[in-house]
Amino acid sequence: MNTAIAADSVHSKALPDLVSKLLTARQESLVLYQKLAAMKPFTLAGPARHRLRQFQQALMDYLALGPFEVYQALEEQPADSPYRQARELARQLYTRIAWTTQAALAFHDRYDGELSEPALAQLDRALSQLGESLATRIELEDQILAAVRHSQAKTQVAA
């Protein structure tokens, strides 16, 4: 039996594919964030609970792609890799990115499980704080992603 296995970019560990996955997950999270934030006032009986759950899942997926896939793939690059500069930048920025991860995890934990009226009353403020943290994360990630793209462009020109 001769079966050809096609490369699937969704499951690929190639750095450019991981970057694409990260950007897709980020976009999905941001869209759901906006949809949730627009549902004010938040009530226990309203659809906000469902949207909050959707957003939390998308947020966790997005957060996991950074450190567990993209940054790991950068760390696994050989010392003479064209991605060396991107790896060094990721190392420099990782602590600040990890801080934003902790802020997002705290948000997730606070709004996981059963919701109360007092918790929902604070949701708007918590979303605002989370939004600021995500904006910082995106700025930092974009610096790394630009370095990855620059490395790819140099590699393609050299080839």
pLDDT tens digits for the chain (159 residues)? Answer: 433 333 333 334 688 899 999 999 999 999 999 999 999 888 877 788 889 999 999 999 999 998 889 999 999 988 888 999 999 999 999 999 999 999 999 999 999 988 888 888 899 999 999 999 999 999 999 999 999 999 877 666 555
Q: What token pair was written down for 111?
A: 């709004």
* Structural domains of the chain, with CATH: 15-158 (1.20.120.1370)
